[in-house]
Amino acid sequence: MSDSDDGIEQIIASEEEMKRLDDPSLFINRELSWIKLNERILEEVYDKEHPLLERIKFLAICGSGLDEFFMVRVSGLKRQALKGALKTPPDGMTPNEQLAAIRIEVKKLLKKYSKCWNEEIIPDLLTAGIMIKKVEDLDKDQRNYVRDYFDNSIFPTLTPLAMDFAHPFPFISNICLNLAVIVRDSEDGEKYARIKIPTDLFPRLVEIPDRGKKPNNETKVKKEINLVFIEDIIASEINKLFPGLTVVATCPFRMTRNAEIKITDDLASDLLTAMELGIESRRTGFPVRLEIDGSMPDKLKKLFIHKFMLTDDFVYKVDMPLSIVDFWQFLGIDRPDLKDKPFLPYTPPAFKNGQDIFSTIEKRDWVFYHPYDSFNTIVNPLKQAAEDPDVLAIKTTMYRVGKQSPIISALLHARKRGKAVTVLVELKAKFDEEKNIGWAKVLEDAGVHVIYGLEDLKVHAKILLIVRKRGEKIVHYSLVSAGNFNAVTSTTYADIIYLTSDPEVGAELAEVFNLLTGYSKKNDYKHLVVAPATLRREIVDRINREIDAHKQVGDGYIAIKLNGLVDEGIIQALYRASMAGVKIDLNVRGLCALRPGVKGVSENITVTSILGRFLEHSRVYYFKNGGADEVLIGSADMMPRNLNKRVEVLIIILDPELKKIIIEYMLNIHLKDNVKARRLLSNGTYERIIPGPDDERIDSQKWLIEHRGIWHGDA
């Protein structure tokens, strides 16, 4: 056979391989993968190793996640279906097929929620002395309290709105709890009205004082806590809103609307104004879900379906309280015995207030892991920068900013002290738009140079640059993070941060800020990997390099920890590596479209997911590279939006000791988890990893709490 024949055979083999890797059966549907994630979160509610109120927290997370799923993902599929979209995801499901599959799976999910609430949580609350009561079950004194509370607090805020031909049908706000009221008039028969439950003004669960009982201090019996849902209080006093009429029934319901914001630059002079207009449009988005209480009669349900222009496919009957996102309130109950035991995050001595932090950073690079490390490891350098007369400028990005932000405070103080402060506030951070707009205005009013983000790209990169004069030199202190610079989420999101004074990294990070604030088409970074310019190419090149190294050395290995793996091209590259014999360990917390364990394609790939006390949010990319280990950390997942539509930054870890630390303590420890980890099977379901009788039990999050400081050499 001639050389040219060999080349033709290789081309044919390559084409056959690519055709095979395009097979829809090799991909898990993204939306169904999300539902599996929600099922894994629900499993945490059943896990009695979590304290009771923390278990209820996971139920609230299920609720908020499902709300967002309908507002964003289901609404997007509904739009595609209405437009007759032809493009399908890698798994090949059409929008209508996905909507049908979602309905089946969500109905199963809602049954699981109800079963969990009624059969697990309610009895466990009762055992703990916390009782969810109906008003009718309260004693006389408690009912008097409820009546007074309604009359003096709730009643003045309520506005019943009639639902008939003589009145315009009332507007139902997005994800607000409502009561539909059926009343009977002796002359006109039955009528309908709607009352919005004012959960923005009052707690969803109202604690009812136990006036007749006192806690027994001698026996140290914990005080009994009686809670009543606010909608039950309103329903118990509903007659006061309809004098002269007979109230037949009250039925809770809740509407979910499309939350996608349309930015129309023809109506606004700048991005901030366009976003403000867009946020208002979210309130009136088209309906995508109607949740109803099991007591709602069919004729009332049909009225809602007609008025909201829905079909029965978008109506969900729920056999438990609606709006379970409100269950976050349980964490406010004063029962520390029913919550996670707090721990003190670690602060290296060199990063405490009063230390010369800049000299510390110049001596060596640093890696931090929140929440095991204190958030002060970010705040204190900024505080020092604000006071240091040699600091010339501070530049940073803000994606999700907390309500009380020490980062914002430090930046404002730095500006007050005369520093040049530049902040890119991403106004398009979904569901944080209003908060970010508010902070952007505060910063701008203080003289900070604020950029509102880019028109066509969302800035998801978490980067910080401090520019300081030292003698005749300019030093850059560069920080690249996986997580938001948010003091609140830093206690619950597990994120890795890298801090260096390397001049080449500083110069490249300065180039990234030039891209964000001005115009730049730089795409030849040495120490950074930046999306959308280079990220896809750089990751695929590294996967291909691992294939080549494996062919030569025989020990090819890739380990990746991230939140989501959905991109078709990246998955196909990983399939090719597996087919070449490269061993691949993936720790994917959330969505995963890759199907592991498929014979001849992904037999060398394992996928695990960890759900526990903290939200696994770090991104770590490890390539063995023939023994020359390479590690990257930063903000990017492997999803089309991260690769194509966002500005993301990964940093290639420079320091060889810190590289080992990240591999050993921040990657391998999670890959060894056999307590909180689940393994993804080839059929798209997950199973818990069960340690063998002789295996050491490793709960990676607990291990990291117990060993915090070890990566600084201080534990």
Burial status of residue 654 (CB atoms within 10 A of its CB: 0-12, 13-18, 19 or more): middle
Start-to-end C-alpha separation, the chain: 65
**Contacting residues for 635 by C-beta, under 8 A, at least 6 apart:** 460, 461, 462, 480, 481, 482, 619, 648, 649, 650
Which two structure tokens, joined as six digits, stand for 599? 């014979």
Q: How far is CA 469 from the centre of its chain?
A: 39
SS3 427: coil
Cα(377)–Cα(360) distance, integer angstroms = 12
For residue 477, list its beta bridge partners.
466
Q: How far apart are CA 39 and CA 662, in angstroms?
A: 30
Residues with Cβ within 8 Å of 418's Cβ and at least 6 positions away in sequence, in order, are none
Phi, psi of 588 (to 5 degrees): -110, 110
CA proximity to 149, closest of 240, 243, 233:
233
Kindly tell me the number of DSSP H helices and DSSP E strands found in the chain.
21, 27
Quickly count: other Cβ atoms within 10 Å of residue 4's Cβ. Answer: 8
Identity at 418, one-letter amino acid code: G
Rounded distance between C-alpha atoms, residue 157 and residue 173, angstroms: 16
- What secondary structure letter does DSSP report for 488? T
**What's the rounded Cα separation, in Å, for the pair 304 and 300?**
6
Long-range contacts of 15-20 (CB under 8 A, 24+ apart): 17/576, 17/579, 18/572, 20/601
What residues have CB less than 8 Å from 366, skipping those under 6 apart? 348, 351, 360, 377, 498, 499, 500, 658
460 is catalytic: yes
Cis before 532 (ω within 30): yes
Q: Which entry of 167, 413, 449, 460 is annotated as an active-site residue?
A: 460
Cβ-proximal residues to 695 (8 Å cutoff; 6+ apart), any chain: 674
Q: Do residues 662 and 631 touch, judged by C-beta distance below 8 A?
A: yes
**What's the token pair of residue 524?**
């030849």
Alpha-carbon distance of 20 to 614, in angstroms, equals 38
CA dihedral 681, 682, 684, 688 (to 10 degrees): 0
Residue among 501, 466, 462, 465 at smallest CA distance from 485: 462
- Quote the CA–CA distance of 425 and 422 in Å, as a whole number: 10
Distance CA 647, CA 532 (A): 6
CB 430 within 8 A of CB 484: no
One-character DSSP codes across 76-91: HHHHHHHHT-----TT
DSSP-assigned beta bridge partners for residue 183: 191, 247
Positions marked catalytic: 460
